[in-house]
Structures are given as C-alpha cells and as structure tokens.
Structure 1
Amino acid sequence: MKLLYIILMLFCISLYAQEVIDPKIPKVYEIKKAADRKAIKQTELTIYNPPKPLNPEARTHDWKKFLGPTQNAISTETHLLKSFPKSLKPIWEVRKGQGYASVAVVDRRVILFHRVRDQEIVECLHSENGKRFWKYAYPVDYRDRYGFGNGPRCQPIVDGEYIYTLGVKGKLHCLHLRSGQMIWQRDLDKDFTLRSSFFGVGATPLLEKDLLIINLGAEGGPSVVAFDKRTGKLVWGCEKQWGASYASPISANIRSEKYVFVFTGGESRPSHGGLLMIRPIDGKVVLRFPWRARRYTSVNASSPLIIDNRVYLSECYGAGGILLEITAQNKHNILWKNRALQTHFMTAVHKNGYLYGVDGHGPANAPLVCIELKSGKEKWRHEPKWPVEIATKRGKRTFHFPPALGSMIVVDGRCLLLGQYGHLVWLDLNPNKYVELDRTHLFPARETWSMPSLSQGLLYVCQNDRGLDQSKPRLLCYDLRQK
C-alpha cells in the first residue's frame, strides 16, 4: 500500500512538472573573484552632514523586502526622534531618474533602482553618505501610455548575498550584492508573453527561502511563478485565468504552515482576479477567492494583509475591503466586507485590533480611516490639509495638501506617515480619533508614492517627479536617530 502511494505521488509530480516546462533556462555566470569595491563619490551626490551615532540600546534591522522585514509595514526599530527639528534636512541626497521603486537597505548598502534616459539602472550606495559602490545598467524601451513615469515600479529585494530586480518591461536580474556582477537574467515578457498591463510590470517579487516568487500574469498562464533564486530556472507555475496585479506577493504562516498570498487582477476584459493562497514548496493553489471590481479600468494594487489566520483584502474601484478567515481545511469564511476603507496601492496597517489606511483613489477625497478588525466598523475618518509654502514669480504662496496616496510605517510605538506631497508626520494610531503628534515638510512634489525605507535609524525617501519648487527627482536620506 505504501509503495502504491509513492508511485501515485511520483506520477502526480511528473504530470505537474510537464505543465511548468521552462521556456528558456537562463545562463548562470560565476562570480569573479575580486576585492570589495570601495564607495566613491559620484557627481549626482550631495553630502550635507554625517548621521548621529546610533543609540547603543537601539534595535535596528535591514529593509530587504517589500513593506519591510515582516512584510506588513511594521518596523521593530527603536530610539527614533520623538519630534522633528524645525526644518528636517537630509544628510545626503542623490539625483535619480524615473520610476517609483522604493530602495532596499542591507548591510549599510542602499539599492536604488531607477531609469535614466533609455536604461534601467541598479546602483549600490553607502547607506550613511550615499557614495556609490557600483552601478549596473541595461536598455529598456517602455513608454507609459497614461503619461506617468517610464521607470521601474518594483522595489529591489535582497537575500544578503544577491539582489533581485524586476523592471517595468519584465526584465528580471540577479546581481551580486558586493560586486554588482550579473549572475543571471531573464526577459519575462519574451519568455512567457506577459499580458498587457495599464502601467507596466509593478508587483515586487517575493523571496521565500530558495524561491523567487513573481505575480507574473502570462497569457494563458501561469499567473504566478517561482524561480530558483540561484539559477533563475522555473520551479513551478500556477493559475491560468487571473492576470498580474500591482500587489506584491506576501508570505505568512497559517497554523504554523507557510503559504504565499497573491492578490491578482490587472488589465483584462472582463475584469477578473482575486486571492490565491499557494503552497510554496510545490506551487499548489490551496485557496482561490475572486475579489475584483467589475470596471475594466480597475486593478488590485494593495498587498494582502495577514493577521493570524485572517486575510484582509482591499481595492478602491468598487469591490472595497473584505476580511477572510482561513479554516483548518484551507477553506474560507467571510467575516465581513464593506467600503469603509478602500485602499489604492498603499497597504493598510494593523495595530491592536484596528486597521488604518488611506481610503480612496485620491489625490482629493482620500481620507485616513480607522476600522475595527473584528467587525469592520468604521471608528473615524479624517482628511487633514497641511500647508506648503512655495516661492512663485508673484512672491511666496501657501497651498494646502492632504496626505492623499501616502504610506504608513508602524514603528517605535507610533506611526510614521509619508504623504503624497512630501509631508512626514508622526501619528498616534488609536481607535478614538485622529491624533497628530508632529509634522514636517520635506519637499513639495506630487508623486511621492514610493514606500519609504527605514533601516539603522535612517529614512530613505524618493522624490519621483520635479517639485513645485523646481527641485529634480532624487533619493534623500534623513537621520531619525535619537541622541
């Protein structure tokens, strides 16, 4: 009986493997032996001041994954500034090209991924002064059909030895962290024929042990794939109907077993997509839950938020938010659904039984909202309007901007909010009312959509477009270390 079971298992695996034949296995290059490169000041860099030393009792971490080390925008860093100085200035800044990719930070190295002219560029910078260790570039020809930036959308991810980047046209690279050498590369559009997408490829890959998991969306499938992170070879693929969204895959434990959660749903007629709960060891879809607005011009862009055995999904084109309970049999129960908190491409954060996030498409009429996790009941909503003073030909004028499509990090007992127009705010997240602890303004720009990255008490913020003060796109590093 046991022998028969083994034979059946091997037969099933062989059938499954036939469905995921790699269309083009990439070449893997050996790392050339060389001394670590020294960081050298580049012409695009301006250094202002060195950062303060870290408090000896401070807890810190790297920022290697999308949404931070725990993939839920919750940071364990401590001993950060309780209030901002009158004018918070960067300790260094470097000019950047087009794109909306956040930076990764690991081992005092910052990985910047952007586009300059007709090249996508990966740069490795020193975290405390911005000096460049190395730069890697390759050609790209993407043009955004809606007039937004033509650069990459996906944050680089790092495992401590290698960097993985996914460009706006689907070019996937594995680079050596210390040297910048290319280990392997793939053109996913050519290899798999990606479906048409509104704004190019935009879901950051996920590293799960030795697998690089991507919300792919190939024509006719697979929708989600896993590559061997060392070789780039396809390990598995799953789902055929649902296309790639702009929501990055998230891994989490449900009853001590690891699963990958992918919120699919991009450009399609008719519109379709939803949640896939996938077993990473073999790519088996154990739960498939449709959740997508009916509008053609809709996308799913907020990553799933997993809290114990519950999954919160949200989108802002009509379906709204929903909380699922995953049962012991990997079935689902709908606990509630509503339209109180309809996130666009920010992912809501959870604190002490409540969800907080930006409701709506924005930039106008996109308030901050608090809802109770257990019931979905709205506790409060508030849309502050913050002043910005800008010099014009007729003198200085004061404008007022909302948080709009901002990002939130729960850290050090509070919440750090980066608003779309360059405001940085400390909030006290509580279910009773909106409480603002302190606020500063970094720069007056309109597309501050990238999630800020926090590591070693330093905050990295991308200005993605030309500012209202004519400042150019740049990456800025701010010292939030407490003395």
Structure 2
Amino acid sequence: MQAARTSLVYRLARVPLFAALATLPLLADDWPQWLGPQRDGVWRENRIVEKFPAKGPKVRWRTAIGGGYTGPAVANGRVYVLDRQLGPGTSNPSNPFAKVTIPGSERVLCLDAADGAILWKHDYDCPYAVSYPAGPRATPAVDGGRVYTVGAEGNLLCLDAEKGNAIWSHDLKKDYGITTPTWGFAGHPLIDGGKLICLAGGEGSVAVAFDKETGKELWRALSAKEPGYCPPMIHEYGGKRQLIIWHPESVNGLDPDTGKVYWTYPHTPIRSGMTIASPRKFRDLLF
C-alpha cells in the first residue's frame, strides 16, 4: 500500500501545471511569493467565490510544462514557475527514492496570466542527484521587476521579470561548500526590504541574506548538519521583527537585518532532516 501511494504521488507531481493557474485572470490581487503578498496564506481580495459550480470552475486555459513541485508566483499579469526538462533519452528512476545522477535542465518560465502563453523561458543545465527528481521545489519570489528562484540543486537566480535575462546568480553548493539535501533545496526564498533571504546550509551558513539588487552577501548565520526544507519566515514578537529559521536541530529567532541570533530552541534532531512546514504565528505563540 505504501508503495502504491508513493508511486501515485510521484506520477501526480509530473502532471502539467494548469489546474492551479486556470482561474488566475479572475483575481485582482497578485500572489508574488510563497503564501501570497504577506506570506501568510491569506487572500484579502473582496471578490471571493463562496461556492464553485457543481462541475468546478470554468477552465480558462491550459499550458503544458515539465515536472516539478513549485507553486506559481503571480505578479503584474504574469505567472512565474519552474520546471524540469529531462535530457534526451533520459527517464526518471522507477524508485523515486533512488539517488542517481540524471541529466537534464531546469527552466524558469513566464506565462501570460490572461491566456497562458509562454512569454519567455530561462533554462540552465542541471543534472539531478536527489530523491523524488521530478523537478524543482521552491516557489519563485517576484519583486521590483525581478524574479528570484532557487532550484533543487542550489542554483539561485535573479532574473529580469520582463525579459528573463539573468542579472546575478549563485551556486549555493559551490559558494558554501555544501552538498544537496536528500530532497533538494526546497526553502522558498524570502524578500525583506532590500534583502533576499535563503536557506543554504553548512557551518555558519544555514541562513544567508543577499543584496537583492546585486547578489552580494550581506550576512550568514547558524550551523547545522542539514538545512532542512522549511522556508524562512518573519514574525514580530516583543516589538521586534524576527526571522524564524527552523532547521532539523533547532528553532531560531534572528534579526533579519544583521543575522544576529536572538534566541535558539534546540530539540531532538528531526529524522531525515525533514523540517518542512512554514512557522506560523498566533497571538504570541509560534507554531
């Protein structure tokens, strides 16, 4: 039974991403990053549909793309998403847990939110050696005419949102001397003012902040054997904005401007490094 469920999840991950995009032209609000404008999963538009038709909402368009697990980011009438293209004559292993090197590339795609037309593609060579190799994991972040992406093998890109050309990039594995996590780099990038905050990994660099305009590193912080898969989040506690980083060994509150660690709550290391869920605030509690 477990094998059947695993196989089903693996197949579904490769379905072209049209269902989630089908009704985007109806929305007034942009959704430019993981969990939306305020990174809290709340849609504040006033035209919320209270009930879908019996046969579901009308499909406005479909666009076939490659495999992947990223969500779409929507901004200024465009949809940004990542996918995976296998190399010629290559297929993914039947066992998604197998870690073998698979030739292929990753792509950043920009679609017209009105009709699904592909406006531009930015692709780069990216052999995979991760479990569940269907495609990239992290949702793009769009801000100030730029789109920021993190690929499954640690390719961090800043692209022109209008044309798709690269403005700056980092290879997180090379720059920080780290290896790819078992299930790939999956922490959704966070934009905070003039900074882009990402999960990297290794000694002193679990969390890293970059100047979002130039790509220059501004600070790095925290050490752990694995970075985990939980996205960085910012919440306010005690009158201070705090960057919450949950990695497999501890939960941490940092100054988002400097990377200074305010507090650390250590816990028993999480099995397989699987810190995943986004930290959420309720009143003065952190979940």
Q: TM-score range by the shorter chain?
A: 0.7 to 0.9
Which residue in 2 is equivalent to 1:370? none
> What residue in structure 2 maps to residue 66 of structure 1?
34
The partner residue of 2:242 within 256, 259, 283 is 259
Shift of 1:60: 3.7
The one of 113, 129, 132 aligned to 1:127: 113
Q: Determine whether 1:114 maps to 2:83.
A: yes
Question: Percent identity between the aligned chains?
Answer: 31
- Say whether residues 1:275 and 2:251 are aligned partners: yes
Mapped to 1, the partners of 2:214 and 2:50 lie a distance apart of 45
| Structure 2 residue 145 is matched with structure 1 residue 161 | yes
2:255 & 2:126 partners in 1: Cα distance? 34
Is the CA contact 1:254–1:308 (under 8 Å) kept in the aligned structure 2? no
Q: Residues 120, 196 of structure 1: CA spacing in aligned structure 2 closer, same or farther, 3 A cutoff?
A: closer
Aligned residue pairs total 251
Instruction: Give the deviation of 1:52 after TM superposition.
Output: 11
Q: Which residue of 2 aligns with 1:230?
A: 213
Alignment partner, residue 9 of structure 2: none
How far off its partner does 1:302 sit? 0.5
Task: Give the distance between the partners of 2:109 and 2:77, measured in 1 at CA.
Answer: 13
Instruction: Decide which of 141, 146, 161 is 2:127's aligned counterpart.
Output: 141
Deviations 1:49-100 (A, max 9, x none): x97986xxxx842111211122221221222322222222421111121210
What does residue range 187-336 of structure 1 map to in structure 2 within 5 Å? 187-218=171-202, 220-241=203-224, 243-265=226-248, 273-293=249-269, 295=271, 297-312=272-287
Is contact 2:279–2:286 with CA below 8 Å preserved after alignment? yes
Identify if the C-alpha distance between structure 1 residues 130 and 52 changes in structure 2 by more than 3 Å, giving closer, same or farther: closer
User: Offset of 1:247 from its aligned partner?
Assistant: 0.6
Matching of residue 96 in structure 1 with residue 51 in structure 2? no
Letter in 2 for 1:86: A
**Is the contact made by 1:104 and 1:157 (CA closer than 8 Å) also made in structure 2?**
yes
Task: Describe the shift of the 1:207–1:152 C-alpha distance in structure 2 as closer, same or farther (beyond 3 A).
Answer: same
Q: 1:45 Cα shift?
A: 11
After TM superposition, the score normalised by the length of structure 1 is: 0.49
The answer for unaligned runs of 5 or more in structure 1 is: 1-43, 266-272, 313-483
Match for residue 25 of structure 1? none
CA gap of 1:152–1:240, structure 2 versus 1, over 3 A, is same
Q: Distance in 1 between matches of 2:63 and 2:25?
A: 22
**Structure-to-structure mapping, 1:325-364, within 5 angstroms:** none
RMSD between superposed Cα atoms in Å: 2.3
Contact 2:126/2:153, CA 8 A, preserved across alignment: yes
Corresponding residue SS for 2:108 = strand
Name the residue aligned to 1:76. Answer: 44
From the CA coordinates, give the structure whose radius of gyration is larger. Answer: 1
Equivalent residue of 1:287, what SS?
Answer: strand
Q: 8 Å contact 1:259–1:278 — kept in the other structure?
A: yes
CA distance in 2 between counterparts of 1:103 and 1:52 reads: 10
Structure 2 runs not aligned, ≥5 long? 1-15, 87-103
Structure ranking higher on relative contact order (CA contacts 8 Å, 6+ apart) = 1
Contact persistence 2:188–2:231 (CA under 8 A): yes
| 2-structure distance, mates of 1:238, 1:161 | 28
The structure that is strand-richer by fraction is 1
CA distance in 2, matches of 1:235, 1:77: 35
Deviation at 1:134, TM superposition (A): 1.2
By how many angstroms is 1:242 displaced? Answer: 5.2
Q: In structure 2, do the counterparts of structure 1 residues 53 and 285 end up closer, same or farther at CA, with 3 Å as the change threshold?
A: closer
Say if 2:25 and 2:114, in contact at 8 Å, map to a contact too: no
- Segments ≥4 residues shifted beyond 6 Å: 50-53
Given the alignment, which residue of 170, 177, 180 partners 2:154? Answer: 170
SS in 2 for 1:130: coil
CA contact (8 A) 1:102 1:112 kept: yes
With normalisation by structure 2, the TM-score equals 0.81
Does 1:151 pair with 2:127?
no
